[in-house]
Structure 1
Amino acid sequence: MRKFALQAFFYDYCIPTSHSSLSGGFLSGLEPMVRNLGLDSPVADACRAAAFASHGIKLHRKFLIYQAEILHQNLLRHLALRIQTPAANSKENLTIAVLLGLYQMIISEENNPGHHTAHAAGVAAILQIDNNYSRVLQTVLTGHPLLLGSRQKIGIPSPRVEIGIDRWLLNILIKFSPMWKRMEAFFAGVPNAQDIFDLALDIKPELIILDRELEDWQKSQKEEFKPVTIDSGVPPSINPGAGYYPGRVDMYIDLYVATLWNISRIALCILKNLMARLPTMPSDDSYSEPDQQTAFHMAEDMIASLPYHLSEDLQIFLKDRHKHTKITNPGRPAGGLLIMHAIHAASRLEILPLDMREYFETCLTWMGKRMGIGQAAFLAEASGIDSKYLMDGWLLILLGLLV
């Protein structure tokens, strides 16, 4: 059973690099690491814990979930001992911390958010940096001994590597993070009209610059990196199930590329939502793109990517789409894991139509039940989720793209 669990994890969660100059994959270096360290190594057991948990949820097998928790507890003790040694800050420990964070995201329940935040803090401690995803991005871009092997995956220049596709995107996200946090904290305090006007005067020009940078990033991508529309989609229906929202269906080179596109899309949606909350300024005259229209198109693009993220075989999905009301052939859980934070964020944006937001919640619920990702179901139902909880989850996903 241990052998099969490891094989299942590699299939379900490890996405190999499909194109060396365009894609970094997801957990793409994990299988070689396990084979190098040994099939009974702590890293291998961390993979098994995630596999047992995911399949236990999907198959409703409490025994598998119990086996996962035993492995999890053993690994916690292992890490506690290792961090007291000179080898505390090792690539092996970093990988285990990331995998245990993913495990916590998998076993989350509708009434139990899980404890991935503790493992995100452990990751930051191993990297010896502050625990926030902007700091992790900066660390990756500037270099870190434990992440040097990842620098090529995100296109950081070296004597043999050209500038890649997402260095620009990561820099935009680093600049966006503090402004997003500032605005969220500001509106949480119920400001008056004058305060809102003063904030708009101060921050809106910067938001517009970032908005244009994100749009420029999308427009500048190579043709082979862009999505390809393979179907016009399903007809309109009431309460569409996962994968069945009316509209087109797109495919990508791989899930890594699809994820970067959706990161840029949700960032644009959030920016548009933030700008819509601010009054129009005289300096906005040269900026005529309607916020709501752009956000709607970005959300449509995310929806068009969902069958690719969530189905096992797009051709089967397209062939059978008139027979069903939701995806019946769930794909690799990695596909759901990589998009769940983006669609959760979209489901909470007032700038998007209600039916679209409800559809995103429907997809999250489906991912929890059919893909074995407990946190997806939690995100669909929970309200007032702490932003740190979400950002720590995104941090762990980000590091999965780099491992």
Structure 2
Amino acid sequence: MCDELRPASKPLSTSWWSSETDDEALERLALDIFLTEFTTKAADRQASRGFLDGIQPLLKSDNPQSSLVCSAKTVALASIGIRLKRKSLIRKTERQYGDLLGNLHQSLYAETRCVSIETLYTAILLGLYEIIISRNKSPMQYMTHVKGVCAILLSPRSPFRLEYGRIMFQPSSLLMSEDDIVAYWPLDDSYVQNLNATLHKFQDFSHRAELYLMKETAHMEESKLLQREALVLDEEFSHWGESITDHPSYARVTVASLDESAAAQSGCDYCHSGPVDTYSDHYIAAIWNTYRKSHIVLLDIMAHLERHISKEETSLKLQGRVEKFVADIIASIPYHLAYDVDEYLKCIHSQRSDIAPNRSFSYTYYAVYHG
């Protein structure tokens, strides 16, 4: 690896490359870029799964020409190709993707006894590639791979033993025996499992409520039944949010608060006034935002039901709660998009105009929704 392109242990620059970095150099760096930008080591394994935490030793020990390693490189190069608007790199990753998809199909047919962890990871990475590349096509194309990964997980041949409902599993844990998994991954506090249970109930409820609210005529009794169900879910969500606040692993830390003037003059299109929050890792931050987003949708349904029943406008109390969740999500954006929040704040206060999202995985989603 070229010394001048070697990534730091904690990158602070906007990116490791520039428009002058040629494709060959980027390909040499691709695996290091993937490991640093697309994986997150869990800060606390009792509470967090990180992101792709467990793939690191597999990539480092695997054959450099294996489907798993090539998939990781393809993901990294596709992200860079889009960021640099380099068609040559994008075309190359499209060809690589086609070959890898064929190899994946062959692996699934060949592994009759048990789907290997490498094959599962390869499927996940190819789905991640679809998310990256689909911004030029349809943002929902990656759903094919999401369904494929789910099918692998639910298959009797899956390496995951999903009947261990209370075990927080990691792909890396599959390298151990089942007894080791049970001993190593206890959920003493069960916070994640409690939220999962509420989200599962909410998914069914929201589907039924949305179908009902689409009807031209509303029946008062059904509206009241849905409202009572919504209130129970609201209480469950609220209890989770209140109880998790005291857990040190799930704590959020407000490191700064930007005034409107600083945000407006920064030249950064994802900078907003108000608090800037950080978390122990991105998995924890994602849990918080999943909770907030779901709770916002529930409150929106409650507002619609309230209007059906009382024929009045949304209560200020509900509106205020939604605004609080939205503000908390906004406060988490710099943590998701910047390598280092301290550097981000320095850039904001110095009114730099060239600030851009520089964490590839977060940038992928940022690009999908911002074009």
TM range (shorter): 0.7 to 0.9
Give, in angstroms, the shift of residue 63 of structure 1. 1.4
Give 2:52's aligned amino acid.
L
Deviations 1:321-340 (A, max 9, x none): 13448771523223355xx5
* Structure-2 change in CA distance of 1:143 and 1:227 (3 Å): closer
8 Å contact from structure 2 (residues 166, 193) kept in 1: no
Give 1:167's aligned amino acid.
Q
Distance 2:86 2:216 in 1: 50
* Structure-2 change in CA distance of 1:43 and 1:182 (3 Å): same
Matched, 1:58 2:83: yes
Partner SS, residue 193 of structure 1? coil
Give, in angstroms, the shift of residue 298 of structure 1. 0.4
Matched, 1:177 2:203: yes
* Structure-2 change in CA distance of 1:223 and 1:31 (3 Å): closer
Q: Which runs of 5+ in 1 are unaligned?
A: 130-135, 341-366, 369-374, 379-403
Q: Which residue of 2 aligns with 1:230?
A: 255
Q: Which residue of 1 aligns with 2:221?
A: 198
Q: Which runs of 5+ in 2 are unaligned?
A: 1-23
Partner SS, residue 61 of structure 2? helix
Give 1:96's aligned amino acid.
T
8 Å contact from structure 2 (residues 357, 363) kept in 1: no
* Structure-2 change in CA distance of 1:175 and 1:4 (3 Å): same
* Structure-2 change in CA distance of 1:62 and 1:280 (3 Å): closer
Distance 2:291 2:250 in 1: 14
8 Å contact from structure 1 (residues 50, 103) kept in 2: yes
Distance 1:14 1:58 in 2: 19
8 Å contact from structure 2 (residues 268, 348) kept in 1: no
8 Å contact from structure 1 (residues 101, 115) kept in 2: no
Deviations 1:33-89 (A, max 9, x none): 222332221111111111111000001111111121122101111122122221563
Matched, 1:264 2:327: no
Q: How does 1:313-352 map to 2 (within 5 A)?
A: 313-324=340-351, 328-336=355-363, 340=365
8 Å contact from structure 1 (residues 21, 164) kept in 2: no
Deviations 1:228-274 (A, max 9, x none): 11111231567985332221111111111111111111111111011
8 Å contact from structure 2 (residues 347, 355) kept in 1: no
Give, in angstroms, the shift of residue 171 of structure 1. 1.2
Give, in angstroms, the shift of residue 113 of structure 1. 3.0
* Structure-2 change in CA distance of 1:100 and 1:88 (3 Å): farther
Q: Which residue of 2 aligns with 1:125?
A: 151
Deviations 1:260-319 (A, max 9, x none): 111111111111011111036999xxxx99221111100100000111111122112212
Deviations 1:149-176 (A, max 9, x none): 38x9xxxx94452244311111111111
Q: TM-score, normalised by structure 2?
A: 0.78
CA-based RMSD of the aligned residues comes to 3.3
Q: TM-score, normalised by structure 1?
A: 0.72
Distance 1:117 1:139 in 2: 25
Matched, 1:303 2:326: no
Matched, 1:13 2:38: yes
Partner SS, residue 245 of structure 1? coil
The structure number with the bigger radius of gyration is: 2
Q: Which residue of 1 aligns with 2:120?
A: 94
Give 2:241's aligned amino acid.
Q
What is the aligned-residue identity percentage? 28
Give, in angstroms, the shift of residue 128 of structure 1. 3.3
Distance 2:170 2:281 in 1: 25
8 Å contact from structure 2 (residues 34, 72) kept in 1: yes
Q: Which residue of 1 aligns with 2:173?
A: 149
Pairs aligned (count): 326
Matched, 1:243 2:270: yes
Deviations 1:83-111 (A, max 9, x none): 22215633222211111111100011255
* Structure-2 change in CA distance of 1:114 and 1:324 (3 Å): farther
Q: Which of 1 and 2 has higher RCO (CA within 8 Å, sep 6+)?
A: 1
8 Å contact from structure 1 (residues 107, 114) kept in 2: no
Distance 1:47 1:33 in 2: 11
Matched, 1:219 2:242: yes
Q: Which residue of 2 aligns with 1:48?
A: 73
Q: Which runs of 4+ in 1 moved over 6 A?
A: 142-148, 237-240, 280-283
Q: 2:304 aligns with which of 246, 255, 277?
A: 277
